[in-house]
Structure 1
Amino acid sequence: MRSRLVWLALLVVFAVIAWFVAEDTTWWWLVPQGAFILFYAWWSYPNRGATTTHAEVTALDEGDPRRRVIIYWRPGCMYCSRLRRRLGSARRSATWVNIWADDEAAAFVRSVNQGNETVPTVVLEGEAHTNPPPELVRDSLAAGLR
């Protein structure tokens, strides 16, 4: 709930800024501003990509390949976006858990990061890594595909 309120507040702030800028400039400037606001709203929306929960991940069997690499992330995080980009097509093999859509996932991330919701937090074969190098995650994903 907290993340949705923050998201909504940021969206309102962007809209107010766009309104004031639009009053001082010509109407055509509204198009790129509107596109930016819509993109930011989509990129930072708290429920974007909310498909897997922490409970579903912990219920998986040890041998299940979806449990090999688990990535805890949140929308709007530039480090999460960087990891997603750097993994390329291998990112589809990982299990992604949105901490803004799942309170249990957020609690897990806080438990392994001294109370901070630092993401991306990646669990590789049962061990949590905070903001690991993309190469480490990619190598782990490649090992699971063999």
Structure 2
Amino acid sequence: MSPTPVTADHLTAYTGLLHLAVRLLAREIDPPLYRQLTTANAPATDDQRPLIDARLTGRPQQKALEDLAVEYCRLFIGPQPECPPYASAHRGEVKLGGRSAHDIDDFMDRHRLRPVLNEHDAVLQHDHLAVELSLLAHLYDTAAKPADSHLTADTAWAAAHTLLHNHIWPWADDYLRRLQHTAELAPYTTIAHLTWQVLNEASTWPDTTDTDPTIDNAALTLYSAPWCAFCKRLKKHLDREKIPYTEINVEQDPTAAETVKKINNGNQIIPTVVFADGTTMTNPTITQVKHQLDPDT
């Protein structure tokens, strides 16, 4: 499997999904989150999975929330949970204070990281998948858009690579597959599937941002679809002008469609172009693209 080119836009889109996974794994769904999931429930394409199970949407909200609370407890809390979201439990270690918990604590100490936990989160140890995914999302956020942090983009990227390969993927690969098949209701089936897809792709990314040729230095990211005539025309012009770009198919990428909707006020319009500086354009001409890249042209 060849590595996927990595862009800041990739990281932004994928960390959004990781944050949703963190929230769903950490505690039960409350009314505000249920309404958000219901509002965003319509799949953008036929192969995408619903965020809320169709069996719930026809019920009163309180009844749906009760059913989701029962599902959350059955999967994650117990008294004998079907899918306890701890690396230590998955590996058969002591649940509290096992090697996996000590290892992730050591990782956080080395990189001066601390998880952001809500007082209502059902998290007992830091080897909980929600904690590990929140750390990964933070590191990817920092790699994409370094802010007021002791980590640079390069050190955040390297730390994310270590976290994923040494602490998350060795157990989350199997765990998320199991969760997907054990859960009976979306969003838990869906978030297990989508999170596995994101982590599986991220596992192919290089461990540095500056030495591997698969790191994408494209001038822009193009959101498109194979059937889109306007996308084909713009790609033809970009190729003719020898302008490097990364293309993301909104029908295959689990989060690309939502990114396009956010850019276009809720509308899925393609082609949508995102430049390296964060500027966006919807269905631009090649002249507009060239001027954005070089105002003197």
- Please report the TM-score for the alignment, with normalisation by the length of structure 1: 0.50
Q: CA RMSD in A?
A: 3.1
Q: Following the alignment from structure 2 to structure 1, what is the Cα–Cα distance between the partners of residues 254 and 236?
A: 26
8 Å contact kept, 1:71–1:97: yes
Structure 1: stretches of 5+ with no match in the other structure: 1-50
Could you tell me which residue of structure 2 aligns to residue 129 of structure 1?
A: 281
SS in structure 1 at match of 2:237:
helix
Deviations along 1:65-102, one digit per CA (max 9) or x if unpaired, are 63641111111101001101122344561111111111
Could you tell me which residue of structure 2 aligns to residue 57 of structure 1?
A: 10
Q: Which of 237, 244, 249 in structure 2 is aligned with 1:86? A: 237
SS in structure 1 at match of 2:255:
helix
Within a 5 Å distance, the mapping from 1:1-146 to structure 2 comes to: 57-58=10-11, 61=144, 66=217, 68-90=219-241, 93-124=244-275, 125-140=277-292, 143=294
Deviations along 1:2-42, one digit per CA (max 9) or x if unpaired, are xxxxxxxxxxxxxxxxxxxxxxxxxxxxxxxxxxxxxxxxx
Q: Following the alignment from structure 1 to structure 2, what is the Cα–Cα distance between the partners of residues 138 and 91?
A: 11
Letter in 2 for 1:57: H
Letter in 1 for 2:234: L
* Superposed displacement of residue 107, structure 1: 0.5
By percentage of residues, which structure has more strand?
A: 1
Number of aligned residues: 92
**Greater radius of gyration (CA):** 2
SS in structure 2 at match of 1:95:
strand
Moved over 3 A (4+): 51-56, 59-65, 89-92, 138-141
Kindly tell me: are residues 61 and 90 of structure 1, through their superposed partners in 2, closer, same or farther at Cα, counting changes over 3 Å?
farther
Letter in 1 for 2:287: E
8 Å contact kept, 1:54–1:102: no
Letter in 2 for 1:133: T
Kindly tell me: are residues 102 and 52 of structure 1, through their superposed partners in 2, closer, same or farther at Cα, counting changes over 3 Å?
farther
* Superposed displacement of residue 117, structure 1: 1.2
Q: Following the alignment from structure 2 to structure 1, what is the Cα–Cα distance between the partners of residues 262 and 236?
A: 27
* Superposed displacement of residue 105, structure 1: 0.7
By percentage of residues, which structure has more helix?
A: 1
Letter in 1 for 2:220: V
Could you tell me which residue of structure 1 aligns to residue 126 of structure 2?
A: none
* Superposed displacement of residue 112, structure 1: 1.1
SS in structure 1 at match of 2:248:
strand
Kindly tell me: are residues 56 and 126 of structure 1, through their superposed partners in 2, closer, same or farther at Cα, counting changes over 3 Å?
closer
SS in structure 2 at match of 1:103:
coil
- Please report the TM-score for the alignment, with normalisation by the length of structure 2: 0.27
Structure 2: stretches of 5+ with no match in the other structure: 12-139, 146-152, 154-214
